[in-house]
Amino acid sequence: MNQWMRLALLVGLAAAVPGADVWAGNPVLSAEPQQPKTEATLLGLQFRTPQVGWTVGSGGTILKTVNGGKRWKKVVSGTSVLLTNVLFIDGKRGWVIGSNGTVRTSTDGGESWRPVSVATEVPLYGISFPTPAHGWIVGGNGMILHTDDGGMSWHEQSSHTNATLYAVAFSSEQHGVAVGAVGTALVTLDGGTTWTAPGSLGGVTLFGFEWSDLMIGWAVGNAGALFQTTDGGLHWTDRTIPCLQTCTKPIDLLRVRFTGPQTGWIVGERGMVYRTIDAGFTWQEAGSIANVSLFGLTFPDEGHAWASGERGTMVQIKPMR
């Protein structure tokens, strides 16, 4: 699989894993399936607190919960396009992005949404707001959009690449990294005035990126691709995860999250989960928590987590301490 969109749109692509619905006695975490009552592929997922969360996906789907996922309410999105990501910067103000240059915003906690005009029709995948005023969105054809007025207006920045960009994360309003297809990794130290590519990370497609502190970051991608930077994105070390005890081919890694400098989590194809507790020096294969690919992963705090994926899959993850 070379394209993240292909993963998103092909329902049932991942191989089934028997007995993957509920874990019993797993020393790393327990996982409990939830029922959002949708067949949509759920790509974007965010919980700001252990009670309040949002997820978005195919067919313009937006769902909200206020009770930790016990019940999900469908919200009118005003669009039927594939929605790829959701981000709230506080309990009221949020954005969803997706295909055809779709950007929509909410100021009432996701109860209603209105369109935001942007000068592109390429699909949009990644979004980051390091401050309430400054935000970035990335997408197809190397598209990078920037706002300095809290998302009221967006302007294109030059990425100097045509590669699709799938993820972006800023550690401050000046310092950010974007990753994407054909091993593309871009870094800016001046708020996106200039973006530079330190060098390709091989032919892999990179789907996710996360900072574990101000200078250490992690990119994940297809065929177990895992890269670490310790100098803010200027140089990268290949830490690709090989097949471990339960896989027959390297797993596509789709999302990475860190709950602190030492503890990180990865989800991906076939519902697989990996964990590190030593700042990424080693990664433990925790097993599969679903029989589908997982695209969303969110930690409102270190003790609560959710993952989302194909066929309306939503799993509450409870990390073991």
Per-residue pLDDT of the chain (321 residues; tens, 9 = 90+): 444 444 444 333 333 333 333 333 346 788 999 999 999 999 999 999 999 999 999 999 999 999 999 999 999 999 999 999 999 999 999 999 999 999 999 999 999 999 999 999 999 999 999 999 999 999 999 999 999 999 999 999 999 999 999 999 999 999 999 999 999 999 999 999 999 998 889 889 999 999 999 999 999 999 999 999 999 999 999 999 887 666 678 899 999 999 999 999 999 999 999 999 999 999 998 889 999 999 999 999 999 999 999 999 999 998 876
Q: Give the pLDDT confidence score for residue 244 in this predicted structure.
A: 63
* Separation of alpha carbons 222 and 135, rounded Å: 27
pLDDT of residue 23: 33
Length of the chain (residues): 321
Residue 247 pLDDT: 62
What is the predicted pLDDT for the residue at 321?
Answer: 63
Tokens coding 176:
């950010």
User: Full-prediction pTM beyond 0.85?
Assistant: yes
Q: Which H or E run includes 137?
A: strand 135-139
Query: Sign (positive/negative) of CA torsion 269, 273, 274, 275?
Result: positive
Mapped onto helix, strand or coil, the DSSP state of residue 37 is coil
Pairing mode of beta strands 304-309, 253-258: unpaired
Looking at residue 28, its pLDDT comes to 75
How many beta carbons lie within 10 A of that of residue 1, not counting itself? 14
Q: What local confidence, expressed as pLDDT, does residue 24 receive?
A: 34
Cα dist from 100 to 79, 81, 162, 166, whole Å? 11, 8, 17, 15
Residue of 170, 93, 186 whose CA lies nearest to 130: 170
User: How far is it, in rounded angstroms, from Cα 158 to Cα 194?
Assistant: 7
Distance, first Cα to last Cα, the chain:
34
Q: Which of 14, 29, 28, 6 is nearest to 268 (CA)?
A: 14
Complete domains list, the chain, with CATH: 4-319 (2.130.10.10)
Residue by residue, DSSP assigns 188-235 as ESSTTSS-B------SPPEEEEEESSSS-EEEEEGGG-EEEESSTTSS
Chain centroid to CA 71: 22
CA distance 166 to 178: 8
